[in-house]
Amino acid sequence: MKDWDDFRFLLALSRSGTLREAARRLGVNETTMARRLAAVEGRQGTTLFLRGRDGLQPTPTGERLVRAAERMEQALLRTNPDHGQGTVSGLVRLTSVAWIVEALLAPRLIDLHRRHPALTMELAASNTTVSLSRRDADLALRLARPREEHLVARRLGALGLTLASSVRGSAQGWIAYHRGWDDLPEIQAMAGVFRDPPVARIAGLTGIQAAVRSGLGMAMLPDPMIDADPGLVAAQPTIRVSRPLWVVLHEDLRERPAIRACLDWLEEVVREAGWTDQSSLKSK
């Protein structure tokens, strides 16, 4: 492609995720966007975006062109630093486990919106590892450092987990995640304490929290979760682990202004939440 407008058009589609949103950002209607996409694909002789349930997904050729457009955009910004200043925009998709999305990110999303009103953050809660290499998301907050190629990670802080029980203190058994996660540090810590198998297995932290509160059993829960729940108490404060919190992204996205804005926001959110190795539990 030789026309910068075509590259700008592909960037809008990639960052918006839908024809409708891209049209809104470019100030045209959805029909015009659809015709424009058909024309660009016709000139390229191949499909550039696939339409799926979750919106538009670039094909390998579309991904290469989007990366080329991002490099052109960055070159323009380096040549003219004032270009686009104060107008960070686009769609950024961030994934993490449900509890982190609900307890840490969603309550502070208003700060990012006030700072960059033209930027849309899409939070996806998932207890499975979403592929950043396939661009299923742009950013991920993970409790383990990634091993995939072409991904970069920055440690933002750490999340402490402590063995918790109901304030009624009647439980003797323990609750684990599903069997595929038995090698996690918090599960290994409990396996070293309890002789019997877990009384239950629950995939998500919120479900485990409810089960522990009911008195079903004890479990390793995040310190902020225990602090915030009057129905929970640290059963044995010495039984605890610390999990590092990593923000992960594809290396090609590092220089995108919207990504940099989100990384700055994430660092601020984690720091102000006090998620460090030194986090402590309040007495109850």
pLDDT at 82: 46
Confidence at 256, pLDDT banded by 50, 70, 90: confident
Q: What is the mean pLDDT of residues 70-92?
A: 66
**Minimum mean pLDDT range among 44-58, 105-119, 190-204, 256-270:** 44-58
Residue 133, pLDDT score: 55
For the chain, give every residue range classified as CATH 3.40.190.10: 90-153+247-273, 159-243
Q: What is the predicted pLDDT for the residue at 279?
A: 44
CA atoms within 13 Å, Cβ hemisphere of 237: 9
Q: Residue 225's CB: how many other CB atoms inside 10 A?
A: 20
Burial class (CB in 10 A: 0-12, 13-18, 19+), 262: buried
CATH top class, domain 159-243? alpha beta
Per-residue pLDDT, 17: 80
d(CA 229, CA 211): 13
Instruction: Check whether 20 has a pLDDT greater than 90.
Output: no
pLDDT at 147 over 70: yes
pLDDT of residue 281: 42
Mean pLDDT of 79-92: 62
What is 90-153+247-273's CATH topology? D-Maltodextrin-Binding Protein; domain 2 (3.40.190)
Which residue did the predictor score with more confidence, 188 or 116?
Answer: 188
Cβ partners under 8 Å of residue 14, min gap 6: 56, 58, 62, 66, 69
- pLDDT at residue 151 in the model: 80
| 77 vs 192, higher pLDDT | 192
DSSP letter for 116, please: -
What values do phi and psi take at 281, rounded to 5?
A: -95, 140
* Confidence check: pLDDT of 83 > 50: no
Q: How far apart are CA 246 and CA 244, in angstroms?
A: 6
CA angle 220, 221, 226 (to 5 degrees): 130
* The predicted structure's pLDDT at residue 43: 86
What's the token pair of residue 145?
A: 């450092």
Average pLDDT, rounded, for the chain? 84
User: Strand 139-142 and strand 90-96: pairing?
Assistant: parallel
Rounded to whole angstroms, the Cα distance separating 283 from 9 reads: 55
User: Does 168 or 240 have the greater pLDDT score?
Assistant: 240
Q: Give residues with Cβ within 8 angstroms of 215, minimum separation 6.
A: 166, 168, 170, 171
pLDDT band per the 50, 70, 90 thresholds, residue 179? confident
Per-residue confidence (pLDDT) for residue 252, from 0 to 100: 76
Instruction: Give residue 259's pLDDT band: very low, low, confident or very high (50, 70, 90).
Output: confident
Say yes or no to pLDDT of 170 above 70: yes
Helix ranges (DSSP H) in the chain: 4-16, 19-26, 30-44, 60-79, 98-100, 109-115, 185-191, 205-214, 223-228, 257-273
Tokens representing 177?
Answer: 């995640």
What tens digit of pLDDT does each residue of 185-200 get? 999 999 999 999 999 9
* pLDDT above 90: percentage of residues in the chain: 36
Higher pLDDT, 176 or 34: 176
Confidence of residue 229 (pLDDT cuts 50, 70, 90): very high
Q: Are 269 and 108 in contact, with CB atoms under 8 Å apart? A: yes
The radius of gyration of the chain's CA atoms, rounded to the nearest angstrom, is 22
The correct answer on CATH 3.40.50.2020 for the domain covering 4-79 is no
- The CATH 1.10.10.10 portion of the chain extends over 4-79
Residue 280 confidence (pLDDT): 42
